Structure 1
Amino acid sequence: MEKIKLKDFLDFKFLSGIELSPDKKHAAFAVHTCDYNENKYISNIWIYDCLSEEYRKLTNMSKEKSFIWLDNDTILFPSLREEKLKKKIDDGEHWTVFYAINIHGGEAYEYMRVPMNVNEFKLIANEKFLITAEYNHYGINLHSIKSEDKEEAMSMIKENKDYEILDEIPFWSNGEGFTNKKRSRLYLYDKGTKDIIPISGKFENVSLSSVKDGKALYTAFSFTNKMELTNELYMYDLYSENATRLIEEGEMYIEYAEFMGDEIVFAASTIDKYGINQNLNFYILKNGEPVLLAEHDYGMFNSVGSDCRYGEGAGHRVLNDELYFISTENKSSFIKKLSLDGKIERITYDNGSVDCFDICNEGILFIGLRGTKLQEIYLYRNNLETQKTKFNEDIAEIKNVIKPEPLSFENDGIKIEGWVLKPADFDENKCYPGILDIHGGPKTVYGEIYYHEMQLWANEGYFVFFCNPRGSDGRGDEFADIRGKYGTIDYNDLMMFTDTVLKKYPQIDPCRIGVTGGSYGGFMTNWIIGHTDRFKCAVSQRSISNWLSKFGTTDIGYYFNSDQIQSTPWNNPEKMWFHSPLKYADKAVTPTLFIHSEEDYRCWLSEGLQMFTALKYHGVDARLCMFRGENHELSRSGKPKHRVKRLEEITNWFEKYLQ
């Protein structure tokens, strides 16, 4: 077997967005690959024939990753193929061009072009589409400007690029840049007349949930000064041309809503007991009021971590008046089913990760990771899972993928689950270095699926160990609730886990252990180096160092910090400082590499800079590698060359201090 190399992920195939045709005979999905030389991702739509079980590439322009079915034989997708239009967009115009293609053959043809940046699009009636698109209150929305005024408007657009106006929070968003008074607004687009009719208000941030029989459900955050944590639920009726508010702002946070038979069911949280990380429950609308339908004390998403995904897909579907959804329990994500009587039943049972799925009476097609394999398409039918594609089969066949060994322990009477990757060609008579890897979130989980960076380090001769401390997902609200406790019980879990690993695997040299993590894992890495000198080196990625500064500079700081640290800079600054790793930086002696992205507005660059400066000031070896043009998602969806450089920096740092 060949050892896994750092750049192997450049050859991986990432799958997303599986969607069955209306007649359920075919499924479309996107396949993404890295183009290292061009430093970008190549994306194309593929077709899976449910009868023959064959699959083939449908598009070839390498830019198609989102789509809808127009009918049983036709797919609609946005793409930018015209050079003249590319120039207009570069100059500041907004256009989204949609192409249609028959899945049985023929070239794609232009179907419609919308003079807006379209985010979501759904067919609601013949040649009528619901779209969400960017609306800029302080900007110039060209689609509403007369042609004779367009030249002047274009000049103003160029001039406005030199400054930003801020008069609300959040004023920027990770992956989106400055968002002040910019909204994802809901419109009705008529292909025949080319009319664009706004449905939602100017200050409503909309997410489109469900469309059925000329009606649509959507959620909206409405704000002009400060976005609150609760949103509104609306139903739009195409035929009456009215949008009716079903749930008012201030009652709950609503993740999504679906039509189930004649009922409206939605996943929501009252955020009253466990704060913003409180698990969602299911509600039904009765006489205009939300009524609890089913409690669900597990994550209602796939939160199983991996650095081998790109793109997204549906995490819930409705079939025969039943709602199917992805849920995380312990180390895995599964598909469950909700009935209108409030009963929740788990459908799939195999461990691993379900990333997205679609469903019909014949079974469930899903994209997932099973065992230590990379993403493939699976069919679940008659209580049996069958792999249907072999996009990444050669990786599992020729590469030395190491299976994680489970290792659990108890702390404060609570079981903590973890895993260990032994070094490649492990010899029990040899001594090895080790790496503790800490997940982000904190409300996510590690599982037993493929994680490239960890597999790389194990193949380079390291023990790699990782666990799900308190604060993680999959174990219910109480387990995930570490509000006001950051750096205390979770730190104890991680240190006891390290002790447990060292005891079980005496081949690990306790003087050659490193630690790394990103986001919350970066916070914990910063915390660890200020509270112990047991680690020979550390790598802190997209981290948090100062809860006081993060409160006022990041896209979620004003509500995440106050909720998770249970304080603000005004009502209890001492508590925010107590939980800030920067407070303890003068105690740190561990050589630390910091990885940060210039456009990471979730854990802003200033967080890494403060900790880096503190270590340098106190004479500790430190290095910071900053990536321009990247955000909080660098390790998962950053540009291919940047992902390679990031992993090289980390691996070289470990080699310098641990080998």
Structure 2
Amino acid sequence: MVQNKRGITAEDFYRIRYASDPQLSPDGTAVAYVQSMVDVDRAYRTHLFVQSLAEKSVIALTEGAVRDSSPRWSPDGTQICFISKRSGKSQIWLIDVKGGEPTQVTRCKTGAANPVWSPDGKRIAFSSMMTPEDSFADLETDEKKEAPKKAIVVNRMKYKSDDLGFVYDTSKQIAVVDVETGEITPVTHSDYHHTVGTWSPDGHWLAITANQVENTDLQHSVDVYLVPVNGGEWIKLTRSMGTFFFPTWSADGKKLAYIGSESPTHLIATQKNVWVSDLETGTQTCLTADWDVQVGDSTIGDVRSPGHPNPGGVWTEDGSGMYFIASERGNSSLYHATLDGTITKVIGGERNIYGFTLHEQSRTAVIAVSDPITPGDLIEVNLETGEEVRLTDVNHELLAELDLPEPIELEYEGQDGWKLHGWLLKPVGFQEGEKYPMVLQIHGGPHSMYGNTFFHEFLLLAAKGYAVLYTNPRGSFGYGEKFMQACCGDYGGNDYLDLMSAVKYACDQFDFIDTNRMGVAGGSYGGFMTNWIVGQTNLFKAAVTDRSICNWLSFYGVSDIGYYFTAEEIQGNPFTNPEKLWQHSPIRHVANIETPLLIMHGEQDHRCPIEQAEQLYIALQHQGKAPVSFMRFPGASHELSRSGDPEQRVLRLQYTAEWFDAYLHTTEKVVME
């Protein structure tokens, strides 16, 4: 161990900060960004900062008990609009870049999100979740909430969402607010969801995305539209054969780029690409069609909240190409693609770039970066020389106290010869000649990616004396589309064997691993796989399953995505081939489970509803076999471990470590209260 340093604790979560959503000023001399933290009341806070690139001086634009986000520079660089709940609902606010008191721009009853300035700086486009009865003219008030309805008529299959809760008949609509007068002009009016994109350079059009097919419950395509801001006929650019997002205009207004996939057979298991529409000829081109890499950041971590702003494809000034993030072999990097399909890595490294902004005239980029020992900071990059200058060090005090092990990269073969990839953390305080227990961690998705990013849970287990093995089995992003799709219809098949191959490889390569003291843990798909593993083998002496799936038959009807997720991922449904869903259900093997199992689940999880945990717990208790404990988290959604209540997140980490301590360090049974 490094002298005078210690391993990380679960409670250190309250001290971790990260910087995100960097936005360079129009003249490229300063960057605005968000800094996130947990305050002394153990509540989330997000504040806005502006930092000069030349002097490196920093101005805190906002502070206090607020959650401010989405800072966006006015075109003249004198003001920043942002989203804040300081008045109650999320609304658009405006503040001078030199600081001062912010002013409120919108006062919508249904709130406001996703602000985008018009080129002339006079208007801001935004979105809001609304019912057919709501109006942008309805004002936010301090009145008490309306009494709950006695009965609700459900007319659609997509009536709930893990991130939004029960949405019933609400949909996302777009409007434009006049910054000077506050007057709001609706842009969309239908029952479909619409997402704000960008303004055309002349300010006459908005590029947006929406699903406007006849039956949005059964056809999930998301198309790109050009919408005249002052009214008129819409122009549809895509063909309702895939999902597309983040449209961006070239500087001359002649082309539009967007990120997405066009696949008649896959909605979920498909890689995203960069597309361009020539608005003069009407042609659509996929710039990355021959590049077998996932566009976007697919890296999983447990400190930063999911859903960071994606700038999409950022055009070069001359319109000859664009910059974007892509994920490959555990890293997410910044790339450049020309219109003829030439792709170049611009900023790489063994790290996770989760955001970027650039100013081409000054050849400057600012990237938001995490790595295995850095939760999230900003780095200025000279695009000509590649020289990097660190702009923020938001965790310097905490990190100075900690001994954080760096991962060992692993490359090995699966049982069928497939090339596989992963990492191993040694325990903090590692001593040659000693034997250590090991925990296998399995990511969710399954179409996501472990990589070179900060993972509090892994570092906590390492601090507790465990080796931590984490890998990307087939189904993961980062290794090509064939690899990513290989788990579809085969959950618990070769993906399971990939994980067992990883364990065997690690045990063969590292003699410090105690093969008699191994544990396994995972969440979501990783929870499914944990449940599957303990039903197949007694190799592991303890297991933790988090927000998991045990029964695909019931998951089909209770999850917010169940009916179409199972169709693609398991390739079955209850009314034509229920036996297929049952074949891949871990609860089918519950009689085989002898591994002590900790089950953790959020009570408001709409993605993998808590009935999945309840079934597994009752089945195990009824048999009276394996030791089992069930931890329920009131009010928690599927995002508990990433954006849930801070105290619940710390409790979850503590329960995980305590369970493994009980069964991998001693022979005594743990009793949790």
Amino acid at match of 2:536: H
Q: Show the counterpart of 2:516.
A: 511
Give SS of 2:374's match.
Answer: coil
Distance 1:163 1:506, change over 3 A: farther
**8 A contact 2:106–2:112 mirrored in 1:** no
Task: Find the counterpart in structure 2 of residue 237 from structure 1.
Answer: 228
Tell me the secondary structure at the aligned position of residue 560 of structure 2: coil
Q: Distance in 2 between matches of 1:52 and 1:268?
A: 39
Shift of 1:254: 1.2
Matches within 5 A, 1:153-172: 158-172=146-160
Displacement of 1:173: 0.3
In the superposition, relative to structure 1, how do residues 162 and 626 fare at CA in structure 2: closer, same or farther (>3 Å)? farther
Q: Is the 8 A contact 2:439 2:466 kept in 1?
A: yes
Matched with 1:90 is none
- CA shift digits 1:178-237 (9 cap, x unpaired): 112211111222345544333223211111122232122111023666152212221122
Decide whether the 8 Å contact of 1:128 with 1:191 is kept in 2: yes
Alpha-carbon offset, residue 145 of structure 1:
6.2
Aligned residues: 639
Does structure 1 residue 399 correspond to structure 2 residue 397?
no
Equivalent residue for 1:246? 236
Equivalent-residue separation in structure 2 for 1:642 and 1:274 (angstroms): 35
Aligned counterparts of 1:186 and 1:314: Cα–Cα separation in 2 = 19
Whether contact under 8 Å (2:243, 2:267) holds in the other structure is no
2:309 to 313, 316, 335: 313
Deviation at 1:442, TM superposition (A): 1.0
Cα RMSD between the aligned structures? 2.3
1:55 aligns to what? 58
Q: CA shift at 1:18, angstroms? A: 0.9
CA distance in 1, matches of 2:644, 2:420: 32
* 1:111-150 correspondence to structure 2 within 5 Å: 111-124=105-118, 125-137=120-132, 140-141=133-134, 143-144=136-137
> What is aligned with 1:380?
381
Deviation of the 1:343 alpha carbon: 2.2
Q: State yes or no: 1:421 paired with 2:399.
A: no
Map 1:171-210 → 2, pairs under 5 A: 171-192=159-180, 194-210=182-198
Q: Distance in 1 between matches of 2:622 and 2:311?
A: 47
Between the aligned partners of 1:237 and 1:532, the Cα distance in structure 2 is 60
Q: Give the distance between the partners of 1:166 and 1:249, measured in 2 at CA.
A: 29
Alpha-carbon distance, 1:99 to partner: 2.9
| Counterpart Cα distance in 1 of 2:223 and 2:164 | 23
Q: Pick closer, same or farther for the CA change 1:334–1:582 going to 2, 3 Å.
A: same
Which residue is equivalent to 1:211? 199
Counterpart in the other structure of 2:670 = none
Q: CA deviation at 1:134?
A: 1.2
Please tell me whether residue 304 in structure 1 is matched to residue 299 in structure 2.
yes
Task: Choose which of 644, 655, 660 in structure 2 pairs with 1:654.
Answer: 660
CA distance 1:96–1:522, change in 2 (3 Å) = closer
Q: For 1:276, what is the secondary structure of its paired residue?
A: coil
Query: What amino acid sits opposite 2:56 in the alignment?
Result: E
Distance apart, 1:23 and its partner CA: 1.7
How far off is 1:273 after superposition? Answer: 5.4
Deviation at 1:530, TM superposition (A): 0.7
Pair 1:486–1:78, CA change in 2 (3 A)? same
Cα deviation, residue 338, structure 1: 2.0
* Deviation, structure 1 residue 54: 2.5
Cα distance between partner residues in 1 of 2:452 and 2:422? 9
In the alignment, the residues of structure 2 paired with residue 189 and residue 450 of structure 1 have an alpha-carbon distance, to the nearest angstrom, of 39
Aligned to 2:554: 549
Deviation (angstroms), 1:547: 1.1
Of the structure 1 ranges 498-507 and 588-597, higher mean CA displacement relative to structure 2 is found in 498-507
Q: For the Cα contact (< 8 Å) 1:18–1:313, is it kept in 2?
A: no
| 3-state SS of paired residue (2:581) | helix
CA distance, structure 1, for counterparts of residue 171 and residue 343 of structure 2:
35
| Structure 2 counterpart of 1:257 | 247
In structure 2, how many angstroms separate the alpha carbons of the residues matched to 1:282 and 1:426?
45
SS in 2 for 1:434: strand
Cα deviation for residue 315 of structure 1 reads 4.1
1:611–1:315 Cα change, 3 Å: farther
| Cα 1:448/1:131, change in 2 over 3 Å | closer
Of the candidates 569, 576, 580, which is equivalent to residue 575 of structure 1? Answer: 580
Are the counterparts in 2 of residues 300 and 327 from structure 1 also a CA contact under 8 Å? yes
Q: CA deviation at 1:3?
A: 2.0
Alignment partner of 1:335: what SS?
A: strand
- After superposition, give the CA deviation of every residue in 1:78-109 in whole Å (9 maximum; x if it has no partner): 33445xxx4xxxxxxxx554332222243323
TM-score in terms of structure 2 length: 0.90
Contact 2:70 2:115 in 1 (8 A): no
**Percent identity over the alignment?**
29
* Amino acid in structure 2 at the alignment position of 1:368: V
Q: Do the aligned partners of residues 96 and 493 (structure 1) sit closer, same or farther apart at CA in structure 2, a change above 3 Å counting?
A: closer
Q: Secondary structure at the match of 1:158?
A: coil
Structure 1 unaligned segments of length 5 or more: list them. Answer: 87-94
Aligned to 2:94: 100
User: Is the CA contact (8 Å cut-off) linking 2:61 and 2:100 kept in structure 1?
Assistant: no
Deviation at 1:600, TM superposition (A): 1.1
User: Which one is further off, 529-538 or 103-112?
Assistant: 103-112
Residues 522-531 or 181-190, more deviating: 181-190
Say yes or no: does 1:350 pair with 2:354.
no
Q: Secondary structure at the match of 1:449?
A: coil
| CA shift for structure 1 position 162 | 4.3
1:132 Cα deviation (Å)?
0.8
Offset at 1:110?
A: 3.5
Distance 1:271 1:589 in 2: 42
Structure 1: how far apart are the matches of 2:85 and 2:468?
Answer: 43
Which letter does structure 1 place at the counterpart of 2:368? I
**1:111: Cα distance to partner?**
4.1
Residues 372-398 of structure 1: per-residue CA shift (max 9 Å, x gap): 222111122112333222112334433
Alignment of 1:276-287 (within 5 A): 276-286=268-278, 287=281
Partner of 1:89: none
Counterpart contact for 1:313–1:357, Cα < 8 Å: no
Counterparts in 2 of 1:589 and 1:319: CA distance versus 1, 3 Å: same
**Counterpart of 2:616?**
611
Once residues 301 and 271 of structure 1 are traced to their aligned partners in structure 2, the CA distance between those partners, rounded to angstroms, is: 17
Q: Secondary structure at the match of 2:375?
A: coil
Match of 1:453 among 450, 457, 464: 457
Please tell me the residue identity of whatever aligns with 1:628.
P
Q: Residues 217 and 236 of structure 1 are in contact (CA less than 8 Å); yes or no, is this contact kept in structure 2? A: yes
Which residue identity does 1:648 align to in structure 2?
A: Q
Q: 2:436 touches 2:514 (CA, 8 Å); kept in 1?
A: yes
Contact 1:168/1:224 (8 A) holds in 2? no
Q: 1:276 to 1:110 in 2, by over 3 A?
A: closer
For 1:492, give the aligned amino acid.
Answer: L
1:534 alignment partner in structure 2: 539
Tell me the equivalent position of 1:327.
326
Q: Using structure 1 for the length normalisation, give the TM-score.
A: 0.92
Counterparts of 1:146 and 1:284 in 2: how far apart (Å)?
A: 39
- The Cα shift of 1:650 comes to 0.9
- For the residues of structure 2 that align with 1:243 and 1:644, how far apart are their CA atoms? 52
Q: Is the 8 A contact 1:171 1:180 kept in 2?
A: yes
**What is the 5 A alignment of 1:620-635?**
620-635=626-641
CA deviation after TM superposition for structure 1 residue 20, in Å: 1.2
Q: Which structure: greater helix fraction?
A: 1
Q: Could you tell me how far 1:146 is from its partner in structure 2?
A: 11
Q: Distance in 2 between matches of 1:281 and 1:585?
A: 41
SS of alignment partner, residue 204 of structure 1: coil
In structure 2, C-alpha distance between the alignment counterparts of 1:81 and 1:473, rounded to whole Å: 38
CA distance in 1, matches of 2:83, 2:311: 22
How far residue 569 of structure 1 moved from its aligned partner, in angstroms, is 1.2
Aligned residue for 1:612, secondary structure, equals helix
In the alignment, the residues of structure 1 paired with residue 90 and residue 511 of structure 2 have an alpha-carbon distance, to the nearest angstrom, of: 59
